[in-house]
Structure 1
Amino acid sequence: MKIERLLGLIPVSGGRRLLEIGCGSGGISHYFATHPDLDLEVDAVDVTDSRGVKDGYRFHQVMGTALPFADDTFDVVLSNHVIEHVGERAEQLHHLQEIHRVLRDDGSCYLAVPNRWMLVEPHYRLAFLSWLPVSMRSAYLRLFRKGEFYDCVPLAMAELETMLEASGFDYRNVCVEALGETLSIERPVGAGRLLRYVPRAVWERLRPAIPTLIYVLRKKRPSLAVPHR
């Protein structure tokens, strides 16, 4: 799976704990909980229980962005297309702060966020929806009879990275690497096959506009004070 490759997860002795925030149908939590090699103890949280796959992991229903776990509990945290649904900037920042709190010092987090500057918004399949000012987005939905209220807050790369800094993370943008993994795993056919031949340098230039922003996060290590001579 793309996520384990991007996080560089390999078997280790002693096992590890993994948390998925916003587990949805439960497929990802189940995948990692039943992984034949990784030896992961998995917890999953969501504000609603819409799981179709329930085996192998513990589920916790939550309210809001607070996580019901102690500090420094998890070796791996997954937040896969969740932050855009938690609320406005204050709630999004709290979501990141809670990940930082429950993540162990040597742990890692996979964070995937739809890019505000994507051409077609993935939840409602409308072009340029997230480009509009917030005050116009719901009206645009109603115009095309796609819904009454736009309840997502996608992020541009710069504003997301500002929040990651404020939350105490070191981060690595792996959008291009993730795209390569996706093309390798899914092996598209037809015109989609041409994407595999686009030079990496081109994808690097397009990084701020790639539809999904994907990051690997780690806690910032405290800097060592240099003693005065």
Structure 2
Amino acid sequence: MNQMRSEYQEGYSQINPAVLNINDRMDKAKKIQLVLDDYFKNDRNFGIVVDIGCSGGIILHHLKGDFQQKIGIDIDFEALKKAKQDYLFQDIDFICADGMNLPFRNNSTAFCICNHVYEHLPDSKKLFKEIYRTLISGGVSYCAAGNALSIMEGHYHLPFLSWIPKGLAHRYLRLMNRGDYYYEKHLTWWSFKKIISMFRIHDYTIRIIREPELFAGTDLIKPESMITRMPTIFLTLLYPFIPTWILMLEKPRVDQD
């Protein structure tokens, strides 16, 4: 049992039903779509898109564009079973697979979604190496990533949960009756930046803070709140403490290496 716990939290959709909530997932799909549209401008032609940690497939289903193929992967068998039932005739392929060992050839996928996934994997460095390996030259990954220094932990909504050592975090969950084991492995900005250093980073975080309505980011930032009016220099200084970073990670083109 301890060995299993050191690997993955299984059946996540049974523990956190929000990942199968259509309204919640549609809101996230809208944010991803708006960032994608802004990044690619008027180019709507894409190759293969992969959603890592797709759960019930809702985000992938609502993603718009001329995709050659849509593929969702997850280790949550029950969520994948629901995805296959719900989107049987939607030309989406669902695969039970590990983000640290993606079942794709080198340089084969054009776009990847990695939406609040890295902290759920035993080794997030392997995840981003796999994303890099499988992306084509110039391919990109939408990446929404939680911060270890976020005051309110996003999964269990407990203050400072991701700040404290694992042993204390397990006890904290039990004390608050939120679970018995804290699997998530959040990183600070400095640590996270190291493991994505092979990519060219196109950072949307501050733009979304500035214009949350433009990017459907009102779930993260309230329009007209004080932070939206802060000078850029202050936002830059606060960046390592922002709860969620939203990035487009580009695999450099061969002629740019």
Task: Note whether the superposition's TM-score is higher than 0.5.
Answer: yes
Q: Go from structure 1 to structure 2 and tell me whether the alpha carbon gap of 1:163 and 1:72 turns closer, same or farther (over 3 Å shift).
A: same
1:5 to 29, 34, 44: 34
Question: One-letter code of the match for 1:5?
Answer: L
1:39 paired to 2:74: no
SS in structure 2 at match of 1:121:
coil
Task: Report if the CA contact (8 A) 1:6-1:178 is conserved.
Answer: no
Query: 1:136 offset after TM fit, Å?
Result: 1.6
* Cα displacement string for residues 42-70 of structure 1 (whole angstroms, at most 9, x for unaligned residues): 11100014145423311111146211111
Q: Go from structure 1 to structure 2 and tell me whether the alpha carbon gap of 1:153 and 1:218 turns closer, same or farther (over 3 Å shift).
A: same
TM-score, normalised via structure 1 length: 0.82
Q: Go from structure 1 to structure 2 and tell me whether the alpha carbon gap of 1:181 and 1:74 turns closer, same or farther (over 3 Å shift).
A: farther
SS in structure 2 at match of 1:127:
coil
2:142 to 85, 94, 110: 110
Percent of residue pairs bearing the same amino acid type: 26
Match of residue 98 from structure 1: 130
1:194 paired to 2:224: yes
Higher strand share: 1
CA distance, structure 1, for counterparts of residue 135 and residue 126 of structure 2: 14
Match of residue 19 from structure 1: 50
Match of residue 169 from structure 1: 199
SS in structure 2 at match of 1:205:
helix
Q: Which runs of 5+ in 1 are unaligned?
A: none
Q: Go from structure 1 to structure 2 and tell me whether the alpha carbon gap of 1:224 and 1:81 turns closer, same or farther (over 3 Å shift).
A: closer
Match of residue 29 from structure 1: 60
Query: 1:121 offset after TM fit, Å?
Result: 0.6
Task: Report if the CA contact (8 A) 2:50-2:113 is conserved.
Answer: yes
Number of residue pairs the alignment of both structures matches: 215
* Cα displacement string for residues 146-205 of structure 1 (whole angstroms, at most 9, x for unaligned residues): 11000100111100011112xx2222332112334533355859x944327523524333
**Whose Rg is larger?**
1
Match of residue 124 from structure 1: 156
CA distance, structure 1, for counterparts of residue 105 and residue 174 of structure 2: 42
Match of residue 167 from structure 2: 135
Q: Go from structure 1 to structure 2 and tell me whether the alpha carbon gap of 1:169 and 1:187 turns closer, same or farther (over 3 Å shift).
A: closer
Moved more, 193-202 or 77-86: 193-202
Match of residue 27 from structure 2: none
Q: Which runs of 5+ in 2 are unaligned?
A: 1-29
1:69 to 81, 93, 104: 104
CA distance, structure 2, for counterparts of residue 14 and residue 113 of structure 1: 26
SS in structure 1 at match of 2:55:
coil
**Aligned Cα root-mean-square deviation (Å):** 2.7
CA distance, structure 2, for counterparts of residue 211 and residue 63 of structure 1: 26
Question: One-letter code of the match for 1:39?
Answer: D
Q: Go from structure 1 to structure 2 and tell me whether the alpha carbon gap of 1:21 and 1:134 turns closer, same or farther (over 3 Å shift).
A: same
1:211 paired to 2:238: no
Task: Report if the CA contact (8 A) 1:121-1:127 is conserved.
Answer: yes
Q: Go from structure 1 to structure 2 and tell me whether the alpha carbon gap of 1:176 and 1:128 turns closer, same or farther (over 3 Å shift).
A: same
Q: Go from structure 1 to structure 2 and tell me whether the alpha carbon gap of 1:106 and 1:125 turns closer, same or farther (over 3 Å shift).
A: same
CA distance, structure 2, for counterparts of residue 176 and residue 213 of structure 1: 9
